[in-house]
Amino acid sequence: MSTALANPWAGRFSETMTASLVAFNTGLPLESRLFESDIDGTHAHIEMLRSVGLLQSAEHAALARALDEIRQEWRHGDIKLQVELEDIHMNLEALLVKKVGELGKKTHTARSRNDQQATAQRIFFMRSTRELANAIDIFQRALLEHCQQYPNLVMPSYTHLQRAEFTYYAHWLATYVVMLERDHSRFIDALARADQSPLGACASTGTSLPIDRQYSAGLLGFREPTLHSIDSVSDRDYLVEFGAHAANLMIHLSRLSEEIISFTSQEFGFLVLADGYCTGSSIMPQKKNPDVPELVRGKSASVIGNAMTLMTLLKGLPLGYNKDLQEDKTAWFAALDNCMSSLGILTELVRSMKPVSEKMRLAAQGGHIIATEYANYLVNKGLPFREAHRIVGELVKLADSRQLDISRLPYTDFAAASALFTEDIRAVTVDDMVTRKNSYGSCGGQALGVLLSQLQSLLDAHQPR
Ligand code: ARG
């Protein structure tokens, strides 16, 4: 087999490639993931060649059969790609030649490895990015189900990591469903822009042979062919978009991870993770470590770096294909794999985690968290908010001096602070007020119910993939 294409440019060269060049030059270890996409692209290409008369029907049939056999052998692990053949494209051609002889070489009619690589990448991109969008959808559903399961557990909400206000646990967690909805839509948008076939752009300026790019694009399920042949082989914008969206996604997963790590600590104690998703310590018997969210937080650093790699890779490249582009897969696949594995395990983690309602409630009843509601009480009685803020601030100071929560001060202290405070201030409690925060998007029982059903509708509108 290797004799057929072992050195396809032998005509021009008087020396063979050095072993060091073969090792340095090959992209196979990563590129082999695109092998089946290259088979798909080749199938469409030969069918198009047949349709325009560049292949006879019998030739097409023999090549199509050989491609199917190669796919089966690949799936059974019976094919070992040869590094001497540099890339998947030369390997595929050599395998075809081995099966059907000289006819195999006709597959390279009106095609270069440049558009062949670009096509295999787009095919793989469309499939893997849809899978990623689907993994986001599944994670969102796990989060939303968890919210629906625990709709009325009161917890503090934080600003500056200081207890700020009170909310419901489901309202806190639903934030991530909303954030992930933006991530989901970004990948869907990127898919729409990438939905074009570069096949037939050839080396860079197209071909004089009578090919039909619309037909091959349609066969591959692309919306249309790419518009410009040079752009077709130079463009990796879709990977830059992917890198940026992946970084954004991982930033969101990392922020959730950070909160899960905090909330499972003994200092908070709001959440308990299932033992099966935690590790212990080799020396401290009491330890139960949240390795999963810590790793996700760590992996976000790699994915942010991958986005930077993709941008830097392109910024100085002249038009046309340049071998630098082989490096695109390093960053792209690393980002893809880290996003997929992080989403997968976080989905399991969320399905198995348990909130600790007593701890959250206790925290929501301390830290003077009701203070803003006392100020609002005065506002409802006509006082300007700034003045109300000052009066309640003084009550906080008083409570602090007695080491009490503001809600524990006797009514007489309220009455002394402002004549507008009447006995009904006692009815202003966390439990009561949390249900009443019902302006659009707020945490109150009614607003939260609306939010959760809106989120359900958004998820149900995701296209099944
Ligand atoms: N391994 C190459 C890549 O990943 C395939 C394209 C090769 N094209 C070429 N003209 N050498 O970009």
Question: For residue 23, how far is its CA from the centre of ligand 1 (angstroms)?
Answer: 15
CATH number reported for the structural domain that contains residue 192 in this entry: 1.20.200.10
Q: Is 91 in the pocket of ligand 1 (CB under 6 A)?
A: no
Please list the active-site residues. Answer: 160, 281
Write out the H or E segment, with its range, that includes residue 185.
helix 169-194
Decide which of 82, 109, 136 is a domain's last residue.
Answer: 109
Q: How many residues does the chain have?
A: 465
pLDDT in tens, 98-131: 999 999 999 999 999 999 999 999 999 999 999 9
Q: How many domains does the chain have?
A: 3
Q: Is 326 in the pocket of ligand 1 (CB under 6 A)?
A: yes
Residue 285 is predicted with a pLDDT of: 79
pTM above 0.85, yes or no: yes
Among 291, 303, 300, which residue's Cα sits nearest to residue 261?
291
Looking at the fold, whether 439 and 319 belong to one and the same domain comes out as: no
pLDDT in tens, 10-46: 777 777 889 999 999 999 999 999 999 999 999 999 9
Question: In which band, very low, low, confident or very high, does the pLDDT at 5 lie, cut at 50, 70 and 90?
Answer: low
CATH number reported for the structural domain that contains residue 74 in this entry: 1.10.275.10
Query: What span, in angstroms and rounded, lies between the C-alpha atoms of 227 and 85?
Result: 31
Among 213, 34, 217, which residue's Cα sits nearest to residue 110?
213
Looking at the fold, whether 324 and 405 belong to one and the same domain comes out as: no
Phi-psi region of 218 (alpha: psi -120 to 50; beta: other; left: phi over 0): alpha
Decide which of 88, 109, 130 is a domain's last residue.
Answer: 109
pLDDT at 3 over 60: no
Question: For residue 112, how far is its CA from the centre of ligand 1 (angstroms)?
Answer: 10
Residue 114 is predicted with a pLDDT of: 97
Looking at the fold, whether 96 and 120 belong to one and the same domain comes out as: no
Give the residue, by CA position, lying nearest to ligand 1 atom 11.
323
Q: Is 117 in the pocket of ligand 1 (CB under 6 A)?
A: yes
Instruction: Indicate whether 309 belongs to any domain.
Output: yes
Pocket-testing residue among 24, 89, 113, 329, ligand 1, by greatest number of atoms within 8 A of Cβ: 113
Looking at the fold, whether 275 and 203 belong to one and the same domain comes out as: yes
pLDDT in tens, 275-292: 999 888 787 878 889 999
Query: What span, in angstroms and rounded, lies between the C-alpha atoms of 103 and 63?
Result: 8
Instruction: Indicate whether 12 belongs to any domain.
Output: no
Question: For residue 36, how far is its CA from the centre of ligand 1 (angstroms)?
Answer: 16
Looking at the fold, whether 340 and 239 belong to one and the same domain comes out as: yes
pLDDT in tens, 175-213: 999 999 999 999 999 999 999 999 999 999 999 999 999
Q: Give the rounded distance of the alpha carbon of 97 from its chain centre.
A: 40
Q: For ligand 1, what atom is nearest to the CA of residue 116?
A: 6
The angle that helices 445-460 and 169-194 make with each other, rounded to 10 degrees, is 20
Residue 70 structural domain:
19-109
The amino acid at residue 283 is: I
Percentage of the chain lying above the pLDDT 70 cut: 98
Residues 226 and 135: beta-carbon distance below 8 Å = no
pLDDT in tens, 330-345: 999 999 999 999 999 9
Looking at the fold, whether 150 and 220 belong to one and the same domain comes out as: yes
pLDDT in tens, 330-384: 999 999 999 999 999 999 999 999 999 999 999 998 889 999 999 999 999 999 9
